[in-house]
Amino acid sequence: MSGYAELHCLSNFSFQRGASSAEELFKRAAQHGYRALGITDECTLSGIVRAWQASKETGVPLIIGSEMRIEHGPRLVLLVENIDGYHSLCRLITLARRRTVKGEYRVLREDLDGACKGLMALWLPDSPDDDATGEWLRDLFGVRLWLAIELHCGADDAERLRGLQTLAQRLGLPAVASGDVHMHARGRRALQDTMTAIRHHCTVAEAGYRLYANGERHLRSIDRLSGIYPPELLAETLRIAKRCQFDLGQLKYQYPHELVPVGHSPSSWLRELTEQGARWRWSEGITEQAREQIEKELSLIAEMGYESYFLTVHDIVRYAREQAILCQGRGSAANSAVCYALGITEIDPSRSSLLFERFLSKERNEPPDIDVDFEHDRREEVIQYIFRRYGRQRAALTAVVSSYHAAGALRDVGKALGLPPDQINALAKCAGKWTDRLPSPERLIEAGFDPESPILHRVMVLAGELVGFPRHLSQHPGGFVISEQPLETLVPVENAAMADRTIIQWDKDDLDLVGLLKVDILALGMLSAIRRTFDLVRDYRGRELTLATIPAKDSATFDMIGKADTVGVFQIESRAQMAMLPRMKPRTFYDLVIQVAIVRPGPIQGDMVHPYLRRRNGEEPISYPSDALKRVFERTLGVPLFQEQVMALAIVAADYTPGEADQLRRSMAAWKRHGGLEPHKLRLTEGMLRNGYTLEFAEKIFEQIRGFGSYGFPESHAASFALLTYASCWLKCHEPVAFACALINSWPMGFYSPDQILQDLRRHNLETLAVDVRYSDWDCSLEPGQGEQPALRMGLRMIRGLREEAGRSIESARQDGPYQSVADLDRRAGLDARSRELLADADALRGLAGHRHQARWATAGIEPQLALFEGIDSPTEAAVALPVPSVAEDMQADYATVGTTLGPHPLALLRPQLAARRCRSSRELSDIEHGRYIRVAGLAIGRQRPGTATGVIFVTLEDEFGMVNVIVWADLGERQRKELIGSRLLEIHGRLETKEGVTHLIAGRLVDLTPMLIGLDVRSRDFR
């Protein structure tokens, strides 16, 4: 027997230890001719699915295992022999991780008693004299225990080898060679040393003996290993590897079954619920088309055994509706008539051309992926219901692997190499928050660094290697894995950082590969805002509104949308969407579906936007390659905009089956990461040529498909989103004050801050009232206004730093009668000094004490009341005449304390100075001709950098009259990055572009005017 199998190897999922990915390790193992490779990350299986994929790609068998240190005991490497061993390892890791905080583990000796079925153990002795530990392990594992000998060219290797072989002989244990591999190649040693320093929170210079003495912990060639280890130790690795027969493909996942009542099977109960839902959805009688679709779906669901999956999602949605939690299924579930009947989604598939195969297909042989959005501040109720329903053993959130980005890598490497904190911060800022690219030499010079510095060069090289490495496991926003059997038999479970949460150790992208069910319980702020708007309208007007009763096809709503008056609404509120709306002028619900989807990277990169707009506006004829494809593209005027249309095209024009078309969709989604589109190019081209289409058309279609990349937007998602888009627009149009109030009470969410929501309200001549302890609740509320619309009363929640407990106390105590004085407020609400000061500074005591200065004086005079005088007001002191704050002082204090002002806009006060600088206001732009070079200035309230913008940044400026959209090309952004990113008041010199009612300013020069704000605390919402 010749060859070698590495049994002890750490990947980069041993966080801050392993310095190579599984892909790199398996490629190097294949180059060296290894017979197998064990991935044995420390007390985790978080990277094992990726190792499994790397094994299949290279042909090198994977041995699954884990290294762990027993508390006050030995270090072991546990290897999985069979499926029982896999279950045992998952349980052991779960036990060790669940008994301590996230990121740590504790394995106790008693954990191994009777819990090692199917596991083989490599013992890594700390000393060649540790007979007692060896005897204990021998009694525990019997013939499944080996003594591992790891030699790394140390000065005492010969003596170490003799000592360990003697120990093995005394105990009657077989010895085996292993490598304690931490990297695929010796060249990663510097990174491994750096990661060790990061892990120990010290510098490399301070790490000392925590660093390895040399770079031998890499995958060494078999010839080199043969010169280090006796042949029998190498041969033993192959005997062990031969016994490790488990493969992740052997896992059998089962759906939960307890949702089925006695007397029903999962299939019959799903049919019963679907029939009940169908009678509700089609109250006037189900259509023949819908009936055929339901029967087709139920038949396929039963054939594939997915009934319990649908019953599980239905149960979750049922609970949410019973608790009056607004929810909405979206995504590919919108393609399903069964999901519509069960109340999971609101999209009627019988009225659309959506492909059910986008949701579920026999060829794909994978469970469907259903996403359900819930109110973002009530989703936790749903999450805890799931944990109660199935228990912690059978339900957990999936993990998300948090990887190093450029800024984080530079920070950690900089600390490890001993850079001072100010340089580390400056270096990280050079990278920015939105890219994994390391900063260019020009940017480093701009920040005061010398790119030729040896230490900086080392930082950049090591950070470049670290970018993309896993840093830690985070919890998915809401992806739940629920199973019939305990989850710990499938995958280890550990505690999340948040209380009352547990997560599995696999990333969400790994679940499909092993066939685990995932239900996405997602949070959507707009659902919270819509529900709050409904509540406000009901309480103020006595009118009950629901998503179903909002009037459809409302002309006023579509008029508002066409004018891009969409600040705060769902999906079409961004500056890019606003720029498109006057050109699209949506008039129907399906127009909104297209509007939601068209301002996306896929259609933009595929060059689909402008042809669609030209055809829509009558600027070019609408044509179709054939009558068959007319049915596919007719609703989008012959231009493919959606993933489903590409699937339908493949079926109609290239003879794909529906399941094969879904594989095309999946290849489209993944090609930028993994490739895989080229085989489809040949297949599509041959099929279209065979069916009479031209080569030119086939090549054009494929380029459009490539343009979709990982950004293609499904029509099913767009349709689900469009429902909420229309609902939010209707509310903004007809109940604008209630809608604005609900947005602020639901914040943080969306693109806009409460200040921008209130500024928009005032631009519509609607009334806003200041924060006042006499009237304000914790949340913003409605009060009778001067016209048909109510006034918005700003809530105590807007006062920065004020605790909700204090705000609720003020609201509650006021129910016993109006406050008479600051002392009365303090006594009844039980406020502390900090709360009183915040109220005074926010001008919330104006009605009780006068302006800000007087209110601060009044609160300073309040002292704790002795028990003897409890309930007795302090004697009234003579009023002190304090100066009234100036308009500018009030404005600064407003922004500092509540983030907005009801007085003049800051730029109204600065307008004379800006006019002297020849800066135009946003109101003047409509009268300026296209192409004119002008200057504007405004508060920088938002910066966006879309993924397809090739470095272009879109900046939104706000002045007293409205907003200005600015385009900053990548080269200017690089040259003037400091002004672009750091300015709060920004002056732009640029060329005005006006087309089809859309106005942009193309920046040519940026000037930072922030000093003119004199300390004004204005904050922007950047890169949302």
For 57-70, letters b (16+ CB in 10 Å) and e give: ebebbbbbbbbbeb
pLDDT given at position 537: 96
Q: Which residue has the higher pLDDT, 249 or 681?
A: 249
- Under the banding of pLDDT at 50, 70 and 90, the label for residue 892 is confident
Give the amino acid at 250. Q
State the Cα–Cα distance between residues 905 and 902, nearest whole angstrom.
8
Looking at 532-618, which runs of residues are DSSP E strands? none
User: Taking 50 as the threshold, does the pLDDT of residue 616 lie above it?
Assistant: yes
Residue 576 contacts residue 954 (beta carbons within 8 Å): yes
355: closest CA among 286, 271, 280, 297? Answer: 297
216 three-class SS:
coil
* Rounded average pLDDT over 1000-1005: 92
Residue 637 contacts residue 621 (beta carbons within 8 Å): no
pLDDT given at position 878: 55
State the Cα–Cα distance between residues 900 and 759, nearest whole angstrom.
8
User: Taking 60 as the threshold, does the pLDDT of residue 873 lie above it?
Assistant: no
CA neighbours closer than 13 Å in the CB half-sphere of residue 231: 2
User: Taking 60 as the threshold, does the pLDDT of residue 764 lie above it?
Assistant: yes
- Under the banding of pLDDT at 50, 70 and 90, the label for residue 328 is confident
pLDDT given at position 1023: 46
Give the CA dihedral 39, 44, 46, 49, nearest 10 degrees.
40
Residue 533 has phi, psi (to 5 degrees) of -65, -45
Residue that has been written with the tokens 């604008």 in this structure: 736
Angle at the Cα of 700 from the Cα atoms of 698 and 706, rounded to 5 degrees: 105
* Rounded average pLDDT over 542-558: 91
Residues in CB range of 258: below 8 A, 6 or more apart:
none
Residues in CB range of 433: below 8 A, 6 or more apart:
407, 1023
Per-residue model confidence as pLDDT tens digits over 710-756: 455 677 788 888 889 999 999 999 999 999 999 999 988 877 889 98
Q: Which residue has the higher pLDDT, 334 or 17?
A: 17
Per-residue model confidence as pLDDT tens digits over 126-163: 899 999 999 999 999 999 999 999 999 988 999 999 99
pLDDT given at position 807: 94
State the Cα–Cα distance between residues 373 and 326, nearest whole angstrom.
8
Helix (H) or strand (E) holding 729: helix 715-734
* Per-state percent for the chain, helix, strand, coil, to nearest 5: 50, 15, 35
DSSP state at residue 341: H
State the Cα–Cα distance between residues 672 and 709, nearest whole angstrom.
6
Residues in CB range of 176: below 8 A, 6 or more apart:
7, 122, 146, 147, 148, 149, 233, 236, 237, 240
pLDDT given at position 988: 95
pLDDT given at position 447: 83
Exposed, middle or buried: residue 646 (CB in 10 Å: 0-12, 13-18, 19+)? Answer: buried
State the Cα–Cα distance between residues 170 and 42, nearest whole angstrom.
29
pLDDT given at position 580: 87
Which range among 52-61, 120-129, 353-362, 563-572 shows the weakest confidence by mean pLDDT?
353-362
User: Taking 80 as the threshold, does the pLDDT of residue 481 lie above it?
Assistant: yes
Q: How far is CA 455 from CA 439, 449, 452, 548, in A?
A: 15, 11, 9, 63
DSSP state at residue 902: S
Quote the percentage of the chain above a pLDDT of 70.
Answer: 91
* Rounded average pLDDT over 44-59: 96
pLDDT given at position 1: 45
User: What residues does 399 pair with on adjacent strands?
Assistant: 475, 507
- Under the banding of pLDDT at 50, 70 and 90, the label for residue 880 is low
User: Taking 60 as the threshold, does the pLDDT of residue 333 lie above it?
Assistant: yes
The distance of Cα 434 from the centroid of its chain, to the nearest Å, equals 14
* Rounded average pLDDT over 560-583: 90
Here the tokens at position 430 are 């050079």
Q: What are the strands of the beta sheet with 175-177, ordered from one edge?
A: 5-6, 36-39, 62-69, 75-80, 119-124, 145-149, 175-177
pLDDT given at position 725: 95
Report the DSSP pairing between strands 119-124 and 145-149.
parallel
* Rounded average pLDDT over 682-698: 87
pLDDT given at position 1024: 46
* Rounded average pLDDT over 464-473: 93
Residue that has been written with the tokens 């490599």 in this structure: 122
Per-residue model confidence as pLDDT tens digits over 426-436: 999 888 766 78
Residues in CB range of 328: below 8 A, 6 or more apart:
345, 346, 372, 373, 524, 527, 547, 720, 723, 724
Report the DSSP pairing between strands 791-793 and 395-403.
unpaired
pLDDT given at position 258: 78
State the Cα–Cα distance between residues 376 and 725, nearest whole angstrom.
17
User: What residues does 507 pair with on adjacent strands?
Assistant: 399
Highest mean pLDDT among 15-24, 616-625, 666-675: 15-24
Which range among 257-271, 389-403, 865-879, 943-957 shows the weakest confidence by mean pLDDT?
865-879
Q: What is the CA radius of gyration of the chain?
A: 33
Helix (H) or strand (E) holding 990: strand 985-995
382: closest CA among 522, 516, 504? Answer: 522
pLDDT given at position 671: 45
